[in-house]
Structures are given as C-alpha cells and as structure tokens.
Amino acid sequence: MRAIRKLKDLASVATHLWRMTFPSLSLTLLTLFAIAPAWSQTNPALQFTQQVVDVPTRPGVTQRFVYLVPQHPVATVILFAGGEGSLRISPEGEFGGGRGNFLVRSRQLFVERSFAVAVVDAPSDRQSYPFLSGFRQTPQHVEDIKAVMAWLRRQSEIPVWLIGTSRGTQSAAFISTQLDQANGGPDGLVLTSSILRENNAGRAVPDMALSALRIPVLVVHHEQDGCKLCAFSDMPRLMNALSAVSQKELISVRGGVSQGDPCEARAYHGYNGIEQDVVTRIADWITAGMGRKE
C-alpha cells in the first residue's frame, strides 16, 4: 500500500509539472495523460487507463461515459446505473451522482477481471430532472447507446455486453430487444436486481419483447431483495419471458449487509458487502460463454 501511495504522490507531482509546462492543453488531453497507473490488490501487475468520452449521437446531442481499459481486455461491458441515471460525469471523470450504485462502485472490479468498462451517463439533453426517467425505453436512448457501442467496437474488436442494475435493467433489456447483433446490438446481456413489477416509471423487464433476444442472457438477483418492484418471488415471470433464449441462467445470491431503503444501493438490492463475489460470478459466466477463461 505504501508503494501505491508513493506512485500516486509522484503522479500528482507529474501532473502539476505538466500543467505548469503545457497550460494550453485541453482538459480532455490532461485527463488522458494525468491518470496514474492503477493496480488491483488481487493482481498487482494489472494496469488500466481511464478517459472521459463524449460520443455524438442524435443531432446536437452527445453521450458521455467513463471508459476504463485494462492492458488486454477480453470484452467490453457497458454499465447502466439505476434510479434516474443521473451520474453527472465531469470532464475529469468524477461522478456528481450515483457513486454508491452497485455497478458504478464496482467498475474497477470488472477491470480487474480483464474487462474494458464504459459507465454511461444520461445524454447531454437529459442532464436535468427527470434525467433518464421516462427515457429508458425510447428510440432516442437506443440510438445513443448504439453510437456508444459503435465507438467501443472501433477501439477494440471484442464482444460488447450490456449490464444493468435496478432501473438500469430497463435500459439494458430494452436496447437489447431493439438492436440485434446484425444492426449494431450487444453480444450479451446481464440483468442484476431487475425491475420485475410495472409502475409509473416504465414497463417491467418481463413485460418487454424478450422473445426477440438471440444473445446470451445472465440474470443475477438477491434472494433477500426487499425492494417491492424487485421481489425474488417474481423471478419466474422473467425467466419464463426468456424462454426463447437458448443461453441463459439465473444466479441467485444471499448474504451481505442491508442498510437503509430496501430499493437503494446499500441494501441487499445493491449487493452490499458481496460485490466481489457477484462481479466474479458475472465475469466467469461471460468468459465461459466466450469459450475462454482468464
């Protein structure tokens, strides 16, 4: 840990000197060059880079995401946070909202398993209330994420998977039903803490056209999830709706710590305390389906 702190201190000094020497460099370039190499505790040799990307999508609209890339990624995962989807990502890669979300706080765990990671924000025209509420199941949302997937595939010719949690499953599932692989759609789908009951914030995942899916689908759910829209007892509805999917599985988990609102990120709903185990099981399932192991 002392070595890591020293590296971070050196990186901070280097960044300061860089800014003093080249004050005219854009913030985007500084973001690319000023980030210190990061190592995971489980694999000290693992390094990754991070940058903030703004991809043009619809006329006058851009889609921002944080992009983390290990040295030899086996696949890319696009992470969809829940709630209103308001991450308010700064040009420096700081999160103005949603930092505690399961997928957002676990993003580096995916990197440690050799996945490139794109954490998507709301698009530029949805940066105020209600953000992604009422937008997740629209053609515009599909168009935005299609542009992100195209950009990611230009960076590396590896599979692209969508992973959503809570209301993020409404984004990931809907986009997957609207875009097949031949039309720029994802190579696989992971649904964690899925919205299983309909309310005024949009259709529940089981009510979508899931019969159109022809990609692998992994469902992960906490058996003790106390959120009324995500009760584990409703899981048969989702699995039945996926009956046409040839490669699918339900992984149920237990344990961890539940704090606060049962629908929030630090409850069982957000896999509090078992993030490492959940990410490992997701990563193993994806890599096994690709016919390769790390």
Q: Is residue 157 one of the residues assigned to a domain?
A: yes
Which DSSP letter does residue 36 get?
Answer: P
Q: Is residue 20 one of the residues assigned to a domain?
A: no
Residue with tokens 């590896």: 158
Q: What percent of the chain has pLDDT over 70?
A: 83
pLDDT for res 290: 82
Q: Is residue 12 one of the residues assigned to a domain?
A: no
Distance separating alpha carbons of residues 178 and 180, to the nearest angstrom: 7
Identify the residue with better confidence: 112 or 21: 112
pLDDT for res 115: 98
Are 173 and 241 in contact by the 8 Å Cβ rule? The answer is no
Poorest-pLDDT segment among 29-38, 45-54, 189-198: 29-38
Identify the residue with better confidence: 10 or 67: 67
Cα of 76 vs its chain's centroid, Å: 10
Q: What's the whole-number mean pLDDT along residues 42-68?
A: 88
User: The domain spanning residue 140 has which CATH number?
Assistant: 3.40.50.1820
Poorest-pLDDT segment among 46-55, 96-105, 197-206: 197-206
pTM to 2 decimal places:
0.84
**Residue 279: domain span:** 49-291
Distance separating alpha carbons of residues 206 and 184, to the nearest angstrom: 23
Q: What's the whole-number mean pLDDT along residues 37-50?
A: 55
Task: List, for residues 103-146, the tens digit of each pLDDT value.
Answer: 999 999 999 999 999 999 999 999 999 999 999 999 999 999 99
Q: Is residue 7 one of the residues assigned to a domain?
A: no
Task: List, for residues 233-263, the tens digit of each pLDDT value.
Answer: 999 999 999 999 999 999 999 999 999 999 9
Q: Is residue 8 one of the residues assigned to a domain?
A: no
> Is pLDDT above 50 for 156?
yes
- Residue 291 — very low, low, confident or very high, per pLDDT cuts 50/70/90? low
48-56 β-sheet, strand order = 48-56, 62-70, 115-120, 75-80, 160-165, 188-192, 217-222, 248-253
pLDDT for res 251: 99
Q: Is residue 96 one of the residues assigned to a domain?
A: yes
Q: Is residue 1 one of the residues assigned to a domain?
A: no
> Domain count of the chain?
1
29 Cβ contact partners less than 8 Å away, ≥ 6 residues apart: none
Q: Is residue 156 one of the residues assigned to a domain?
A: yes
Are 190 and 172 in contact by the 8 Å Cβ rule? The answer is yes
